[in-house]
Amino acid sequence: MKQLKISLSFLLFCTNILVFGQKKQPFFWGVATAAYQVEGAYQTDGKGESKWDFLTNKVGITQFTIGEKQTGNVSINMYDRTQYLKDLALLKQLGANSYRFSLDWSRIIPDGTGAVNEKALAHYDQLIDDVLAAGLEPFVTIYHFDYPVVLMQKDGWGNPAMVDWYINYASIVMKRFGKKVKHFITFNEPYIEFFLVENMLHEQESKHIPPKEYYMSQMQKAHRQLIANAKAIELYHSLQLKGQIGIVLNVNPGAAWNASKVADVKAANFQDILINGLFLDPLYKGKYPQMAMDSLAKYNPSFQPSASDLTFIAQNKPDFLGINFYAPAVVKGEDSAMSLKWLDNNPDAIKSNVGPVMPEYLYKMLIRLKKDYGNPTVYITENGTGFAGEDVVKNGKVNDPLRIDYIKRHVAYALKAKREGVNLGGYMVWSGWDNFEWVSGYTKRLGLIYVDFKTQERIPKQSFFEYKKLIQKYKGI
Ligand code: BGC
């Protein structure tokens, strides 16, 4: 009997090798970061100026939100190898087996389209080797919001040529790192890039296009990014690199402020479509949701995606879907779905930095991906939180019970969904370290590891140790 068991597992092992050409993947436990938020070194090794270098240094974007100019010029110094080796050692101590990070386009091709900067490629080559040597599977985001400013000055995603510029960059990266990196991510959160951050900027700068028209005009850019995503996937598959490529979406399921009010339920449903359906439907069903198309017809009639574009997107599906889940979009009847009103609705008594704490919506979304979108392989590529006043050092320690509670409850719901057949392959906390939180600068801490932004000292918070226990407990699932 014992022998039969052994040969059965051997057979399974062989099947995995035969079918997938590689060993069965473990469940990936890890943390995530993004280049602009952690690297610093904004003028090192021939790096070009990026959109976010420009927004922070020249526009002073954080002044609008926090009343002070802050930049990622130094950030948490993770471009520096001495520093990042210490940081990887902390991930090893955490017991993680994966690390999601992004590459900076403006380091690799400083002017966006021209000469390739070998120093930057060599840097990332070394980083990937170091990540692997620390026993971590690299999940490499090719593009996380930021890109060379030269391209922004040519209208960025407003310019049809952006697709080719991106593919040129992506192909350099895939060819150089594709033998070592088995999980590539094309893009991070197109909704947040186009409908949230750019919309916020537009409101600040009070340009003259009316809000709903402006909001819907962003659709051209988002659509272009979906085409670039499909092209990158097609290219990756043609290179036969024996790994996987996917896209990361923020998912914010719509939730009615008052579930017994018809107007709230209706508004939540529409908001849900404009955040989630707008990306999930074209990726998995080859069409945009009808309700979104109706609003587009009204506010942006020039948006006419061709049938062949939509077929192309659906034919080049991601091998996996990364989801970033922080909170549902809680919506009131009077909110316009073509706005950012939902961000202000939070019924919690103690409010987090990233919206209401409602982990059951993570579960609901995972089940929905299984039922409505063909049960793709899903990785939770970001989940995490922060509460004002919680991340303070006392006697050399940081006690963060609210973050611990948040992570435990989200992991529990994620694993429940997995037990119920959702194809969930991993879970990553945003973030490993406190870092530059975009328009909020350094005022919002979301890390498992506290960073003293002046001295670069790291202090693992209590949540680091609790997450470590969770990883130990569920390692073999
Ligand atoms: C982004 C991260 C960001 C995090 C927390 C996500 O939208 O991918 O870059 O720091 O949320 O706000």
pLDDT one-digit tens code per residue, 22-39: 568 999 999 999 999 999
Residues 260-316 have pLDDT tens digits of 999 999 999 999 999 999 999 999 999 999 999 999 999 999 999 999 999 999 999
Ligand 1, residues 51, 66, 438: which to mutate, most atoms within 8 A of Cβ? Answer: 438
Residue 47 has pLDDT above 80, yes or no: yes
Residues 84 and 89: their CA atoms lie apart, in Å, by 8
Tell whether ligand 1 has an atom less than 6 A from the beta carbon of residue 382: yes
Q: CB pairs under 8 A, 24+ apart, for 462-466?
A: 462/397, 462/398, 462/399, 462/400, 462/401, 462/404, 463/400, 463/403, 463/404, 463/407, 464/90, 464/94, 466/404, 466/407, 466/408
250 lines ligand 1 (CB under 6 A): yes
User: Which residues, other chains included, contact 355 with Cβ-Cβ below 8 Å and sequence gap of 6+?
Assistant: 252, 326, 327, 328, 330, 343, 346
Average pLDDT over residues 379-394: 98
Q: Is the CB of 413 under 6 A from ligand 1?
A: no
Of residues 15 and 197, which shows the higher confidence score? 197
Beta strand ranges found along 307-457 (DSSP E): 320-324, 329-331, 378-382, 393-394, 397-398, 424-430, 449-451
Please give the distance, rounded to the nearest whole angstrom, from the Cα atom of residue 294 to the centre of ligand 1: 30
Question: What confidence score (pLDDT) does residue 209 get?
Answer: 82
Asked whether the predicted pLDDT for residue 12 surpasses 50, the reply is no
Tell me the average pLDDT of the chain: 95
Give the residue carrying structure tokens 């945003």. 430
Q: How confident is the model at residue 396 (pLDDT cuts 50, 70, 90)?
A: very high
Q: Name, in order, each residue with C-beta under 8 angstroms of 442's C-beta and a sequence gap of 6 or more.
A: 70, 434, 436, 453
Protein residue with least CA distance to atom 10, ligand 1: 437
Tokens of 226: 């979906």
In Å, how far are 36, 115, 191, 195, 464 from 215, measured between CA atoms?
Answer: 25, 35, 11, 7, 39
- Per-residue pLDDT, 22: 55
189 lines ligand 1 (CB under 6 A): yes
Q: Which helix (H) or strand (E) holds 140?
A: strand 137-141
Whether the per-residue pLDDT at 9 is higher than 70: the answer is no
Q: Identity (one letter) of the amino acid at 293? A: M
From the number of C-beta atoms within 10 Å of its C-beta (0-12, 13-18, 19+), residue 322 rates as buried
Beta strands in 150-262 (DSSP E): 183-188, 244-250, 254-256
Distance from Cα 443 to the centre of ligand 1, integer Å = 14
For residues 131 and 91, what is the distance between their CA atoms, to the nearest angstrom? Answer: 10
Confidence of residue 83 (pLDDT cuts 50, 70, 90): very high
pLDDT digits (tens, 9 = 90+) for 98-147: 999 999 999 999 999 999 999 999 999 999 999 999 999 999 999 999 99
Percent above pLDDT 90 for the chain: 92
Strands 393-394 and 397-398: antiparallel
- What is the pLDDT at residue 322? 99
Q: Is the pLDDT at 15 greater than 70, yes or no?
A: no
Q: What is the pLDDT of residue 446?
A: 98
Cα(468) to centroid of ligand 1, in Å?
A: 22
pLDDT tens string 189-235: 999 999 999 998 888 777 778 889 999 999 999 999 999 999 999 99
CA triple 209-210-212, angle to 5 deg: 120
Residue linked to tokens 């490629």 = 121
Percent of the chain topping pLDDT 70: 95
CA dist., res. 418 & res. 412, Å (int) = 10
Task: In whole angstroms, give the CA distance from residue 88 to residue 366.
Answer: 30
Mutate to test the pocket of ligand 1, among 275, 324, 436, 445 (most ligand atoms within 8 A of CB): 324
- What spacing in Å lies between the alpha carbon of 270 and ligand 1's midpoint? 23
pLDDT in the model for residue 205: 78
Using a 6 Å cutoff on CB, does residue 34 contact ligand 1?
A: yes
User: Over the range 225-249, which residues count as b (16 or more CB within 10 Å of their CB) and which as e?
Assistant: bbbbbbbbbebbeeeebebbbbbbb
CA 63 to mean position of chain CA atoms = 25
Angle between helical axes of 462-474 and 81-94 (0-180°, round to 10):
50
Stated length of the chain: 477
pLDDT of residue 206: 73
Mutate to test the pocket of ligand 1, among 192, 381, 385 (most ligand atoms within 8 A of CB): 192
What is the 252 CA–ligand 1 centroid distance (Å)?
13
What is residue 20's predicted lDDT score, i.e. its pLDDT? 45
Residues assigned a catalytic role: 189, 382
Please, what is the end-to-end C-alpha distance for the chain in angstroms?
24
Which atom number of ligand 1 is nearest to the Cα of residue 446?
Answer: 5
Q: Determine if ligand 1 sits within 6 Å of the CB of residue 188.
A: yes
Over residues 10-22, mean pLDDT = 46
Residue 208 has a pLDDT of 78
Q: Looking at the predicted structure, is the pLDDT value of residue 455 above 60?
A: yes
pLDDT digits (tens, 9 = 90+) for 175-193: 999 999 999 999 999 999 9
**How many Cα atoms occupy the beta-carbon half-sphere of 395 within 13 Å?**
2
Centre of ligand 1 to C-alpha 456, Å, is 21
Instruction: Report pLDDT for 201.
Output: 87
| Residue 207, pLDDT score | 74
**Structure confidence at residue 24 (pLDDT):** 82
What does the pLDDT read at residue 204?
A: 79
Ligand 1, pocket-test mutation among 430, 443, 444, most atoms within 8 A of CB: 430
pLDDT of residue 1: 44
Tell me, in angstroms, the distance from the centre of ligand 1 to residue 27's CA: 23
What is the whole-number distance in angstroms between the Cα of residue 188 and the centre of ligand 1?
9
